[in-house]
Chains A and B, each alone.
Chain A
């Protein structure tokens, strides 16, 4: 394009024209006041997260309390342990009697692996039962 064909643009007028054409004509003050009175989104998000975390912490605390009280009530891996001089065959007896809890009686010779395992469990328990 030759220089003769070039058109001129008044930068100031054109900038103002473009700005005024693209910008909104009127302010919405009702929206300003409504949004200004709302708590900021970040604050709302933080408050919601804090509330969720507090509920989760409280719930996990009470579940932990319940679990702790339940786990030590009825569960005992080894109630008693005794040794005898006579040699015995390795046996497992499961028995129930009315009014009593189920019992599992394990008998084994001292050198067997199951005996060593059970003895280790027994010794690792400070209160004499797990």
Chain B
């Protein structure tokens, strides 16, 4: 703990005050309690906390690495390891979510950097253009259309910077507000707003070229 005292030695009122303070930052009290126990080495609490966060963690990592299944798996798994190691050092200066997403962000960036040394992961322009030539209307089946639409969206998302990608994901899917994103990415509100606008605009433009519109 940041105070240097054992958690068990602290007064319950101090813990509840801390929990109340963190809850005010948007954290679920159960998550905070689990995180506190996990920080003391309780593996059961860690696993329960991670199960509660698993969809958010894996979704965020997948968005950061542009939906590459291999990279997404490595990033998500490595994020868990780093979270497990880092939880005892969490100072509770910010929301738990921002802390966890921050770890996922640096982990995903490291994974991408490691793989970039060996492979060119970004979709080349030729590949991107070839996608637009494929007809998504061949079979008329809903699933195929949905898969094709996802393929197009993935290709468009790959053209964004990883940070913009993940920011757009958090905003659109997780419903994170501009101020939350500003805290998480340590960016001014105006910068977050303009980056989100540009990212969405670019995705929309690329999809329009392929015959799709964003709803």
Contacts and interface: CB of A to CB of B under 8 A. Distances in A.
Interface in A68-115: none
A16 B149 CA distance: 13
B54 A27 contact: yes
B141 interface: no
Interface residues of A, number: 28
B169 A19 contact: yes
A27 B80 CA distance: 8
The 9 tightest CB contacts between A and B, nearest first, are: A23-B58, A19-B59, A23-B62, A19-B62, A22-B67, A24-B73, A8-B215, A22-B69, A1-B211
A15 B149 contact: no
Interface residues of B, number: 46
B215 A24 contact: no
Interface of B is mostly: helix
Contacts of B127: none
Given A9-B149, A9-B207, A9-B212, 12 more contacts: A6-B208, A6-B211, A6-B213, A7-B211, A7-B213, A8-B212, A8-B213, A9-B153, A18-B62, A20-B55, A22-B67, A36-B85
B215 A10 contact: yes
B214 A8 contact: yes
Contact of A23 (B59, B80, B145, B203): B59
A22 B84 contact: no
Interface in B186-215: 200, 203, 207-208, 211-215
Interface of A: 1, 5-12, 14-24, 27-29, 31-33, 35-36
A36 to B, nearest CB: 5
Contacts of A18: 62, 67, 150, 153-154, 157
28 contacts: A6-B208, A6-B211, A7-B145, A7-B149, A7-B211, A8-B213, A9-B153, A11-B172, A11-B200, A11-B214, A14-B150, A15-B63, A15-B157, A16-B59, A17-B150, A18-B67, A19-B60, A19-B62, A19-B63, A20-B55, A20-B62, A22-B68, A23-B61, A23-B72, A24-B73, A24-B77, A32-B80, A36-B85
Contacts of B157: 15, 18
B152 interface: yes
A36 B50 CA distance: 15
B55 A7 contact: no
B179 to A, nearest CB: 20
